[in-house]
Amino acid sequence: MILLNFVISLNCVVIPNFKLNNGLEIPALGYGTWVGLDKKAEFIAEDVPQLIDAMSYAIDVGYRHLDTAHLYRVEPEVGYVVKQKIKEGVVKREDIFITTKVWNHNHRPEDVERSVKASLRRLGLDYLDLVLMHWPISVSQDGVDEKIDYLDTWRGFESVLKQGLVKSIGVSNFNVEQLTRLLANCNVVPAVNQVEINLNLGQKELVDFCQKNGILVVAYTPFGKMVPSRLEEDCPAVRHDDPVMLALGKKYGKTVQQIALRYLYQRGIASIPKTLTKSRVVENASIFDFQLDENDVATLQKFDNNYRTVRPIFFQNMSNYPFDKVDVALPEIPLSLRKWKNGANLDID
């Protein structure tokens, strides 16, 4: 009876899939595992136990898409949670879609293979569902621009795919020009381009290009600044208490964050929101039971002002930096983005 009550108490969600250009499917909404850096640009290791708990809950309630990266330090924890859920009989390995990413200091083709094998070891897996080139730039652990052509890096991705280490390969933070060049010189078309997409950064040209060429867009930072913890008074981004958003939420009986995620889904974009709060885990995935009408979609489009939440300006003088540059004094690349160890205790190579 205790077990039965536990099952009934779970607010289970049903998340549809998008089909990739290789015929495989990816859940339209995933669980993001980046816990972030603090104001000193140091990894927030103290949040990892809460991440484990929330990620485990996410799988219990129906999430089947986990997004991580070498940079995120938590591949061991992702692997632990997946192993536990398989052991408990909640899922089978083939039920879970796991994405990881190759960081900037592993852009030589042979280093791509080394990075993927290291991720598999940390995750405790035999294969990955998707591996992404995290950025088109190549930067050494000493912060030096290695100027490695991302076309050469892509050869390494095609190799790990051919070896069966991964089922799908893709890119992240690529712009239209870079994708155009990649498509003209690749043997395997990227399955995914993971980029920042939200109400303030709609990236219509990029999304249209990707969709025309069969590349699924996956949105990171899908809320932009539209959560209370990211509120900046003089920021041009839409706020969580914006009257238009509140009115739409009231109309559909949803939160403003659910309206934002539903808008992306109706554009044919997958999303990977992150949260450590269990109620938000369910809330984020409860967006597939309503439809925004055409007028409301048009209203939401007006929020697009090209404001970028994630702008790593310390990379902007590196070769193949994908964003427009800003005229400011450039800080050094944080050590935490160059050298690190994995796991909550930061002791795993």
Please give the annotated binding residues for substrate, written as ranges: 134
3-state SS class at 154: helix
Return the ∠ at Cα 217 (arms to 324 and 227), rounded to 5°. Answer: 75
User: Strands 130-133 and 97-102: what pairing?
Assistant: parallel
The percent helix, strand, coil of the chain (3-state, each to 5) is 40, 15, 50
Neighbours of 326 (CB within 10 A): 10
Return the ∠ at Cα 225 (arms to 220 and 229), rounded to 5°. Answer: 110
Residues contributing to the annotated binding site: 134
Find where tokens 């859940």 sit: 27
Q: Which residues are catalytic?
A: 72
Token pair belonging to 212? 């025309």
Torsion angle in degrees (nearest 10) through CA of 54, 57, 62, 68: 40
Element (DSSP H or E) covering residue 183: helix 176-185
CB contact at 8 A, 225 and 232: yes
Residue 124 has what DSSP assignment?
T
What length does the chain have? 349
What Å distances lie between residue 211 and 19, 190, 217, CA to CA? 12, 12, 8
| Sign, Cα dihedral of 155, 177, 273, 348 | positive
Task: Give the separation between CA 52 and CA 210, rounded to whole angstroms.
Answer: 33
What Å distances lie between residue 293 and 208, 283, 300, CA to CA? 21, 21, 11
CB contact at 8 A, 287 and 258: yes
Residue 228 has what DSSP assignment?
G
